[in-house]
Amino acid sequence: MKKRFWFLAAVGILVVALAAPAAFAAITGSGQEVEPQQDQVFFDQMFDWHQGWLDQAQKNSGVSPEQAKAWQEHFSYMRDFHAQNGFGPMGSMMDGEGLNGMMGSGGMVVLNEDDCMVEMARFFLDFTQKESCGKCTFCRLGTKHMLTILENITKGQGKPEDLELLLELAGDVKAGSLCGLGKTAPNPVLSTVKYFRDEYEAHIHEKRCPALMCKDLIAYYILPEKCERSCNACVGSCPVEAIFDNEDRIKVIDQKKCVKCDSCMVACPPQYKAVVKLSPPEAVAEYEKGKRS
């Protein structure tokens, strides 16, 4: 009995000893533990699979020529991007240093020009900040401080010195955290500042969200020249009754009432597309002035 216990204990220790380093290497994703060649093989296989899928889809007429062209351009871009920036572990976001960015594990987030990169960084940092166990001071307080700065920027309350402060804090949190969560938490910020610095600057200096995503930096507006029929679809969709007819019987949005829910934009029939988003919100006054003059 005793012999069997010690045998099982020895097997258990051996399994943990073999599995733990691999698990930690996968979690930290810091680059040192991962063989770059392995990642390149993985990415090459993935690109080949995508190419095979596209070739087959074209043969079966599963995609239009325009779609095929768009996919092909995207695949070529991704191949070039990874060739220049390195091949990271799964779930990583490349940031120019190769194996140095992580925005989650086991998933891929695809974004387009309608996604605000500052808001994305805020979203990911909000997640990691809540996940922090709080053991390391840099992770506990640093991510909180970074999150507050990002929240202010997305609300139009960013200050010119915020960008440098964010980068400084990001470096401190990475260096001062013990585990993979703290070490990778600032990566979405580092990556987005590196590749989309102009979006941060637009938020901070112009109080404008180029992707028209940050609620505090946008306003909804009805283009009178497009709302010719005044079909009323938007009026019924508005949860706060913010849309009304002005004295010229033109649909107008009461900006004080509007909660920026997007319903009117969705409700407006595609043949009219009369509801638009403007940023900064002050652009509405300029539009209206332009219509009057």
Binding site for ligand SF4 (CB under 6 A): 220, 222, 227, 229-234, 237-238, 240, 242-243, 251, 253, 258-264, 267-268, 272, 274-275
Report, in Å, the least distance between residue 156 CB and ligand SF4.
18
Per-residue three-class SS string for 55-77: HHHHHCCCCCHHHHHHHHHHHHH
Whole-angstrom distance, CA of residue 181 vs CA of residue 183: 6
Report, in Å, the least distance between residue 199 CB and ligand SF4.
23
Q: Which lies closer to ligand SF4 via its Cβ, residue 44 or residue 228? A: 228
Report, in Å, the least distance between residue 244 CB and ligand SF4.
10
Q: Which lies closer to ligand SF4 via its Cβ, residue 209 or residue 274? A: 274
Report, in Å, the least distance between residue 255 CB and ligand SF4.
9
* CA-based nearest residue to 278, from 238, 234, 222, 226: 222
User: How far, in Å, are 16, 61, 114, 158, 164 from residue 212 at the CA level?
Assistant: 49, 35, 7, 17, 24
Q: What are phi and psi of 92, to 5 degrees?
A: -100, 160
Whole-angstrom distance, CA of residue 118 vs CA of residue 286: 26
Q: Which lies closer to ligand SF4 via its Cβ, residue 166 or residue 238? A: 238
Q: Which lies closer to ligand SF4 via its Cβ, residue 55 or residue 288? A: 288
Q: Which lies closer to ligand SF4 via its Cβ, residue 107 or residue 239? A: 239
Cross-strand bridge partners of residue 277: 220
Report, in Å, the least distance between residue 256 CB and ligand SF4.
11
Residue 154 CA, chain-centre distance (Å), reads: 13
